[in-house]
Homo-oligomer: A and B are copies of this chain.
Amino acid sequence: MDLRLQPRTAAGKRFVELADTHAAAAAVRSAEHDRVGTFPFEAFEAMKQSGFMTATVPEQFGGLGLNSTHDLTAGLCRLAGGDGSIAIAANMHLVFPLIMRWLQRFSKEGGDADMAEQLDGLLAVLGGGTIAMGNNTEPGTDLAHPLLEATKADGGWTLNGRKIFGTLSPIADLFLVSCRTARDDGTYASGNAFVFRGSEGQEIRDNWDALGMRASGSNDVVYKDCFVPESLFFTQGDDWGTDGPLTQVIITAGNIGLLGAFCGIAEAAREQVVEMVKTRTKAPSDRPIAERHGIQHLVAEIDVDLATIRALLERTSTVIDEVVRDGPTTEATLDLLHEVNHQCQCAKLVANRKAIDSVARALTLSGGFGYMTASPLGRLYRDVRAGPLMQPYSPNEAHEFIGRISLGLDPELS
Interface residues of A (CB under 8 A from B): 1, 3, 137, 139-142, 145, 147, 164-165, 209-212, 240-241, 274, 277-278, 280-284, 289-304, 307-308, 310-312, 314-316, 319, 323, 336, 339-340, 342-343, 346-347, 349-350, 356, 360, 363-365, 367-369, 371-374, 378, 381-382, 385-386, 388-389, 394-404, 406-409, 413-414
A381-B209 contact given A296-B403, A409-B290, A413-B292, CB 8 Å threshold: no
Q: How far is the CB of A352 from chain B (nearest CB, A)?
A: 10
Contact B308 A312 (CB under 8 A): yes
Nearest-neighbor residue (CB-CB) of A302 within chain B:
B406
Nearest-neighbor residue (CB-CB) of A366 within chain B:
B389
Contact B399 A300 (CB under 8 A): yes
Contact A300 B3 (CB under 8 A): no
Contact A284 B241 (CB under 8 A): yes
Contact B211 A283 (CB under 8 A): no
Docked CA distance A128–B100 (Å): 57
Docked CA distance A360–B381 (Å): 12
Contact among B212, B301, B382, B399 with A301 in the assembled complex (CB-CB below 8 Å): B399
Contact A403 B295 (CB under 8 A): yes
Docked CA distance A399–B394 (Å): 18
Chain B residue numbers with a CB within 8 Å of A363 are 385, 389
Contact B301 A396 (CB under 8 A): no
Chain B residue numbers with a CB within 8 Å of A350 are 304, 307-308
Q: How far is the CB of A310 from chain B (nearest CB, A)?
A: 7
Q: How far is the CB of A201 from chain B (nearest CB, A)?
A: 23
Docked CA distance A277–B404 (Å): 12
A-B pairs with lowest CB-CB distance, top 8: A296-B403, A300-B403, A141-B283, A300-B402, A293-B293, A307-B346, A211-B378, A311-B311
A142-B283 contact given A311-B312, A385-B371, CB 8 Å threshold: yes
Contact A364 B388 (CB under 8 A): yes
Contact B394 A364 (CB under 8 A): yes
Nearest-neighbor residue (CB-CB) of A141 within chain B:
B283
Chain B residue numbers with a CB within 8 Å of A356 are 360
Nearest-neighbor residue (CB-CB) of A323 within chain B:
B1
A303-B402 contact given A294-B397, A315-B311, A364-B395, CB 8 Å threshold: yes
Contact B292 A145 (CB under 8 A): no
Contact A303 B372 (CB under 8 A): no
Contact among B294, B314, B339, B360 with A315 in the assembled complex (CB-CB below 8 Å): B314
Contact A386 B371 (CB under 8 A): yes
Nearest-neighbor residue (CB-CB) of A344 within chain B:
B307
Q: How far is the CB of A368 from chain B (nearest CB, A)?
A: 5
A385-B381 contact given A283-B142, A315-B315, CB 8 Å threshold: yes
Nearest-neighbor residue (CB-CB) of A293 within chain B:
B293
Nearest-neighbor residue (CB-CB) of A213 within chain B:
B371
Other 8 A-B pairs with CB < 8 A, given A140-B280, A307-B315, A363-B389: A142-B282, A147-B283, A293-B414, A296-B409, A299-B406, A299-B407, A300-B403, A303-B346
